[in-house]
A and B are shown apart, each in its own frame.
Chain A
């Protein structure tokens, strides 16, 4: 079982690495990070703040785009192109396929994010002339971005276990946007009150709490991120990813492959 998971994950990683679109995305992300010091010139005195905000935004956005497009393609493209047939006719359980794909994509994203992060640190070091102790917070921000990507990948796979690639991508992106505004969603709920308020509030617990994993603004100002928040975010992301993958397995186990 473990050998098969590793093989599927490795092959998923190989697929992503051989996809040219991926390189373009990473290239654009690095370009955006590299261009951040130029933007900083516009607003004197806040170069580094601007740089950190923009750099982290670029990393998360491109990471999410990769997670969604590769993630939704992973399962539904294999069904659509029927490459799955020759895999599932082997001693590969469907849940192993889902989990292996997830692990492979997670590894891909880890490598991509590391590349972008390396570029980001070079740019930060350039702007602020060397790295400082407070820049450890940037690593925390990157870790939390990693958590967001884990959640988004699981969601992308969940949607693609029952939908077409385009719909899966649309659903996933909607979840990303809503997930960033969970706290505002609860704000709306509190404002409207009544049954609608409770409904919106209830829904807010179904959406990943990505907003709580976005600490770009704090770390841009060199503020530390509380350990309790890191811990709670980690637990939330892992629970959410496991729930999404379990749902994907439940759906996929019973599905007829056209």
Chain B
């Protein structure tokens, strides 16, 4: 079942002092997000990711096309009961503490008064903010605000969670925690729709991704398929023997720097190469599958029109 259905969605902005210049934010995009899926919306800044999210949240109105969430029109008030939203770089009421903010928002989302405190504390704990729950938000760091933002998106236990750049402003540990949080939402059967311009984040947790560029949808694909296309390449590094001709012959890429060598070979040849390294008496340093599939996909999709234009 499709949880989010987007049909030929368009948005034109009027800009300039007299609002005469028209700028196309979205040029008619269509895709679906299925139930229980973690769906990534990828693209460089200005691609239309936030515009899409803002239309879905009813913050701006589309110039054309339709969007439905859980089978209902996005302006149907019942939709809002079922969704949670983290805006990009959330600005939250800085005169409140995280706990006060979450209780307020839980109330707005219809959580009964006696459950608000418990649910707010639980959401803060999930976002790793339990300790700062009563600290005024104007004293919170950017990373802490991001965590509070995530907590407010899930405090009312929504079916669908929308996250705009959820990893931005976080340190590597924070990114991993958010990744794990999304994973746990996924495990609970929730649908997660998030946007990012950081590919590795999407690669690690998405079931499928949509790639947007300058208001156009460049493609929608299953991440596992993308990864399997890239499987079959392994990077092997060793030290001590710069020239092993048998390996060089079967390598896709071979690069020696002094005593260290880095070779990229087909996955099927991994055992033979490792044997050859050992036989040559070199010290094996690492054997790593080559990633970056999504990056290749992304760059291919995003750069295609540019290259066409150059040609």
- A contact residues vs B (CB 8 Å cutoff): 3-4, 7-8, 11, 14-15, 18-19, 81-93, 254, 256-257
Contacts and interface: CB of A to CB of B under 8 A. Distances in A.
Given A18-B95, A91-B77, A91-B81, A86 B105 contact: yes
Contacts of B156: 90
Nearest to A8: B108
B56 to A, nearest CB: 9
A15 B96 CA distance: 8
Nearest to B110: A91
A86 B152 contact: yes
A89 B80 contact: yes
B104 interface: yes
A15 B95 contact: yes
A15 B85 contact: no
B110 A89 contact: no
Interface in B71-105: 77-78, 80-81, 83-87, 90-93, 95-96, 104-105
B91 A81 contact: yes
Contacts of B95: 14-15, 18-19
B109 A86 contact: no
Given A82-B87, A85-B85, A90-B80, A257 B104 contact: no
Contacts of B149: 86
A73 B93 CA distance: 13
A85 B83 CA distance: 13
Contacts, number: 75
B77 A86 contact: no
B110 A86 contact: no
20 contacts: A3-B107, A11-B104, A14-B96, A15-B95, A82-B90, A83-B91, A86-B85, A86-B87, A86-B90, A86-B105, A87-B108, A88-B58, A88-B59, A89-B57, A89-B58, A91-B77, A91-B78, A91-B109, A92-B108, A254-B61
Nearest to B82: A91
Contacts of A7: 104, 107-108
A89 B83 CA distance: 8
Interface residues of B, number: 33
A-B CB proximity, top 7 nearest: A89-B85, A256-B60, A91-B80, A18-B95, A85-B87, A81-B91, A90-B108
Contacts of B60: 256-257
Contacts of A14: 95-96
Residue of A11, A19, A86, A257 with most chain B CB atoms under a 10 A cut-off: A86
B54 interface: yes
Nearest to B93: A83
Given A82-B91, A91-B78, A91-B109, 10 more contacts: A4-B108, A11-B104, A81-B91, A83-B93, A85-B54, A86-B152, A87-B105, A88-B57, A89-B80, A91-B81
Contacts of B78: 91
A257 B153 CA distance: 19
A14 B101 CA distance: 12
A88 B80 CA distance: 9
Contacts of B77: 91, 93
A87 B109 CA distance: 9
A88 B56 CA distance: 12
